[in-house]
Amino acid sequence: MTESIIVRKANNDDLDEILSLINSPLADNGNAMESRDGNTIYQSILEDSNYFQIVASSEQGLMGTLTLVIIVQMSHEGSSSALITDLITQDSPRKKDIAFELLKYATELAEEYGCYKTILSGDYQKDIISQASISLGFEKNSDCLLLMGK
């Protein structure tokens, strides 16, 4: 039986596991900041109402993470847009599913915030991001993927 994936907003207890994912060869390849340094940045993310660290977890721990930023704009009559970045998953046979579930959660949250477009930009695991995002309706637009509002 396949273990279920739970996607949620990150909390204070997730920092060390997030840093472990970032520190993996699939992301910053050992160049992640130390927990004590990351704590200051992480707390500012958790305190910002337009900034979300989202995680996918199972009973075994965190399986993936991404960052979602809601950008309130002066243009488009004050509408918001969303930026999804830094999607990182464990290197596992389920990484496509993990990426899909993370992106699905983030795009649904962006819709709740009334975002008229969602921009996906990733430096890591680009093949997985591309496959998962296309199934969610994103389209290639220069160096990023773009999902226009419905």
Instruction: List beta partners, residue 144.
Output: 141
- 3-class SS at 68? strand
Token pair belonging to 57: 């977890």
- 3-class SS at 109? helix
69-83 pLDDT per residue, tens: 999 877 767 678 899
Could you tell me which of 68, 80, 139, 144 has the C-alpha nearest to residue 105? 68
Whether residue 86 is predicted with pLDDT greater than 90 in this model: the reply is no
Distance CA 53, CA 8 (A): 9
39-59 pLDDT per residue, tens: 788 888 888 899 999 999 998
Instruction: Give the mean pLDDT of 124-147.
Output: 64
Instruction: Spell out the domains of the chain, with CATH numbers in brackets.
Output: 6-148 (3.40.630.30)
